[in-house]
Chains A and B, each alone.
Chain A
Amino acid sequence: MTAVVRISSVEKIYPLGKTQVHALSGIDMDIQEGEFTTIAGPSGCGKSTLLNLIGCMDVPTSGEVYIEGLPIAKLSDRELTKLRLEKLGFIFQSFNLIPVLTVFQNVEFPLLLQGRFSRAERQQKVTALLAEVDLTAQQGQRSSELSGGQRQRVAIARALVTGPRIVLADEPTANLDSATGERIIELMKTINRTHKTTFIFSTHDPQVMRQAGRIIRLKDGKVVTGQDS
């Protein structure tokens, strides 16, 4: 099985005034299709940086990142953006919905960016996903009218509407109470099983970590252990 994500001798260095920060100092790892993996570590360990690289929001200083075999280090911003649009989905800690749009419109957003679906097709996809996250009734509402859990479900629907191979979630349960959080994780696990979508999380939440299939621990920009649970 090909790794859906391969990290190969990746270094990420940020200039900070006259000095440099080595956020990642030589990471090697693979993530297989269908994994439900957590990246964990203390703050400053580089997990955000790693997630950004995998999320194609940034490129490594040296080394290579392969998304479905495609190296991204030399890609242009335009190509990276396209890659994100087609192959990735994002779930944020603060939900990051577009406030002026309705639930339906938020979920529809990526499809419009893709620009190749008719209205009917978009309608069908969005409706299907809203059903999956159980928000059909709220599709006409704005995010300000929803609870935290509902908002995160919208976010999940939005992340999945393009049928991405990888979904990246950055502390998805941080702003939810434990009950809601657990439900969100359950939802994501279901989707992981049914859609075979690879889920990669960054989290502090032990609940999430318990559910994870694999935990990759980072410390000081290096992988500490990669153990399956």
Chain B
Amino acid sequence: MSSQLGQLRLISSVALRNLWLDRFRTTIIGALIAFGAFLAVIGLSLLNDVRASMRASITQSVAGDLQIYSANAKDSLTLFGGGGFMGRADIGNLPDFAPYRDEILRHPNVAAFVPMGLDMAVLARGNELDDSLDALRSAIKGKDSAIIAGRVEQVRFQLEQVGLELTARRQLSADQAELEQQERDLKVAAAPEFLQDVSKIGEEKLQFLETRIAPLSGEKLPTYIQYFGTDIAAYLANFPKFHLIEGTLLGPGERGIMLSRKVRDEQLKNSVAKIFDKIHKRLTKRNQSIAGDDECRRFASDLKKQYQQILSYLDRADAEELSRKLTDLGIAAVGGDELVQRLSHQLTMFLTVDDSNFEQRYSWFYANIAPKIRLYEVSPGQTITVRSYTRSGYIKTLPLKVYGIYNFDGLEDSDLAGVLSIMDLVSFRELYGQMTEASRRELDVMRAQVGIKDVSAENAETDLFGSERPATTVAANDKKEAAEPLSVKPRLADQFDPQEVQRGLALNAAIKLKDSGKEERTQQELLAALENRGLKANIVGWQKASGIVGQLVNIVGGTLLFALAIIFLVAFVIVNNSIIVGTLNRTREIGTMRAIGAQRSFIVNLFLAETGITGFFGAISGTALAVLVIILAGRLGIPAGNDIVTFIFSGPRLYPRVHWTVVTTAPILITIVATLASVYAARHAAKIQPADATQEKE
């Protein structure tokens, strides 16, 4: 063996034996390093997992790998969380996306180009009385007396409920005069002769009901629907996280909407069902009890006030049956034979839940009540009407058939990802309401016909008041002519030529890549290619396009690394200090070695070897333990505690994987770092003088 190797062997045997001699300290330091390695491996592995899962969440639901939008955008694109004013960011638009698509699809790394646009509209809702009066009106138009009679019945039944409500309000309302008027009105409407003769129900009576009576049933707040319009065929082919839950898929060439399940459950579901669901969720997922949880108690107290939400959707027959069933269940009415009063009391009692009866009442509700009421305001097959405030300034009302209800796999519970509804691109364009050339020309014609000249604010007074024409003219005494009926623009057809979505207006588009690892390079190349063609656009990566949501991973990662750095710093200091303490015990030994001719560097190497060996074994064991924990967690899954974490995990649970790059590099790095960390201490040890060899041992 050469002397180099011999020295190495000397150093390592001295180091090893020293470590063994001072076992306690070695174990402490080793354990510390092991702990650091454990945290580092787990943290970095999880970070990799989370990065991958977030990426999947975002790119496979809406974003794709890259997003392209107008170069003239005023705000940046934020696919999630909404940006700009009232959630409507101004990202400009691509008046015709076809040339962009054609150029982009030529790139070898591009797999698909899916045009889309995000926007928001209002779903207006009337109350139950509005709906039944509307139904009555249509029935009268239809002239089918059987149907009319049925509708009248329903209205009468609801009037009884309104009456009850007014009596209850009497105690609360401050405006007695208004209340008295309402009671008088109701008396008129509820009187049997009012709706008796079906043939005599004319405009006057209907108007009376619609203006005086309908408002008594309360106001429903409008629902805001966030959506994106897209080429449905292309979308469904390229976004695997889409999952249809109910109804059917929107087909190519069909106009309609697929609603987000979360929006439907939270905004369009019967509130009794909704509150029941909320309590149930809290009880099962969070192991709470109604008595022990503030939220649950609040829900429960809301619940028992909601009897109206059941009653108003029943017809008389169903109401009788429900009352009987409730009596059978053991919830009998107190006093009063009159159906509405009786059932109201029964329902109030039924809806008074506590820990002992909740589960039973919950299932009973879904088995016996839910099928009889309108559980959801909107269901597949129905048509909804949405109203949007278009870019051209007008209001656009558009009917949309609800084809299906969907959610994103793994993101069912997420508020961030779960709220977008999907519609076809043609409907989207209609609601977006871009001012077209034709419309602009029409406006100019209108202005010309009226003959109003353009006047600016600065010149207003001279322009308007300068001329010699009189300020007052006398009106000609024209005879009144009947106005011509207006011809109404026909409503948008329910089908369209699928070719229409192959070009034309879109706000942005998702670009799916074959190799997502080349994201940045492809982004640059695409921009260059478009530039060559004289096309300007913004192209951003999925993370940037997702706004704050895309940054979540970076924030999580940054926090993690920061925490790790702190831990390592602490470990460093402890390791350092313990080595220094150790050298105090070995003064004589070190002095001796120095005396007989060991250089300072030899001493330093000796200490580095000691720390290196400790570090190595500490790192290895910490890593091994971490791998074990990851494998175990990978079997069970880590549950997501709240909505944001669900989004990050791309599902209710995260199943960690062992990342071999992390497992192999982490221990090496940690060993190196631990060794280097002891350099200071080692140099300190090397300062011991040879003369200290003669010190007496402590």
Contact = CB atoms under 8 A, between A and B. Distances in A.
Interface of A: 48, 52, 55, 57-58, 77-78, 81-82, 84-86, 88-90, 92-94, 96, 98-101, 105, 109-110, 112-119, 122, 158-159, 162, 170
The 5 A-B residue pairs with the shortest CB-CB distance in the complex, in nearest-first order: A85-B597, A100-B17, A115-B3, A96-B592, A57-B690
28 contacts: A48-B694, A55-B595, A57-B689, A57-B691, A81-B598, A81-B599, A81-B600, A81-B690, A82-B599, A84-B596, A84-B597, A92-B693, A96-B589, A96-B592, A96-B693, A98-B593, A100-B13, A105-B13, A109-B10, A109-B596, A110-B597, A112-B10, A113-B598, A115-B3, A116-B3, A117-B3, A122-B6, A158-B596
Interface string B554-588: 00000000000000000000000000000000001
Contacts of B481: none
A55 B694 CA distance: 13
A166 B452 CA distance: 120
B694 A92 contact: yes
B691 A52 contact: yes
Nearest to A119: B1
A99 B21 contact: yes
A58 B694 CA distance: 14
Contacts of B13: 100-101, 105
Given A90-B596, A113-B597, A115-B7, A84 B694 contact: no
Contacts of A85: 596-598
Interface in B639-698: 689-691, 693-694, 696-697
B132 interface: no
Contacts of A92: 592, 693-694
A57 B7 contact: no
A94 B691 contact: no
Contact of B696 (A94, A118, A162): A94
B694 A98 contact: no
A112 B17 CA distance: 18
Contacts of A98: 14, 589, 592-593
A55 B1 CA distance: 31
Contacts of B3: 112, 114-118
A78 B691 contact: no
Nearest to B588: A96
Contacts of A77: 600
Contact of A100 (B14, B598, B602): B14
A57 B598 CA distance: 12
Most chain A beta-carbon neighbours within 10 Å: one of B4, B589, B592, B598: B592
B161 interface: no
Contacts of B592: 90, 92, 96, 98
Contacts of A158: 596
A122 B588 CA distance: 26
A159 B597 CA distance: 11
Given A84-B595, A96-B589, A117-B3, 12 more contacts: A48-B694, A58-B689, A81-B599, A84-B597, A85-B596, A92-B592, A94-B697, A99-B21, A100-B17, A116-B3, A119-B1, A158-B596
A151 to B, nearest CB: 13
A124 B611 CA distance: 34
A109 B597 CA distance: 10
B14 A101 contact: yes
Contacts of A90: 592, 595-596, 693
Interface residues of B, number: 31
Contact of B4 (A84, A96, A115, A162): A115
Contacts of B352: none
A57 B599 CA distance: 12
A90 B588 CA distance: 14
A29 to B, nearest CB: 20
Nearest to A115: B3
A115 B597 CA distance: 12
A112 B595 contact: no
A94 B696 CA distance: 8
A43 to B, nearest CB: 13
Nearest to A102: B13
A118 B5 CA distance: 10
Contacts, number: 97
B602 A113 contact: yes
Contact of A86 (B2, B595, B597, B598): B597
B261 interface: no
Given A78-B599, A86-B597, A100 B18 contact: yes
A78 B602 CA distance: 11
A85 B597 CA distance: 4
A98 B697 CA distance: 13
A114 B697 CA distance: 27
B691 A100 contact: no
A126 to B, nearest CB: 12
Most chain A beta-carbon neighbours within 10 Å: one of B10, B600, B602: B10
B11 to A, nearest CB: 9
A170 B597 contact: no
Contacts of B14: 98, 100-101
A78 B599 CA distance: 6
Nearest to B15: A100
B594 interface: yes
Contact of B691 (A58, A101, A113): A58
A101 B535 CA distance: 78
B686 to A, nearest CB: 10
Contacts of A58: 689, 691
Contacts of A94: 588, 694, 696-697
A113 B598 CA distance: 6
Nearest to B16: A100
B25 to A, nearest CB: 15
Nearest to A56: B690
Contacts of B696: 94
A96 B589 CA distance: 7
A120 to B, nearest CB: 10
Contacts of A159: 596
Contacts of B10: 105, 109, 112
A167 B618 CA distance: 44
Contacts of B697: 94
A113 B596 contact: yes
A210 B1 CA distance: 46
A182 to B, nearest CB: 23
B5 to A, nearest CB: 9
A137 to B, nearest CB: 22
A159 B694 CA distance: 15
Nearest to A117: B3
A153 B94 CA distance: 95
Contacts of B4: 115
A16 to B, nearest CB: 16
Contacts of A57: 595, 689-691
A115 B9 CA distance: 12
B509 to A, nearest CB: 70
A154 to B, nearest CB: 13
A114 B4 CA distance: 10
B100 to A, nearest CB: 71
A90 to B, nearest CB: 5
B694 A170 contact: yes
Interface string B584-623: 0000110011111111101000000000000000000000
Nearest to B14: A100
Nearest to B20: A100
Contacts of B593: 98, 109
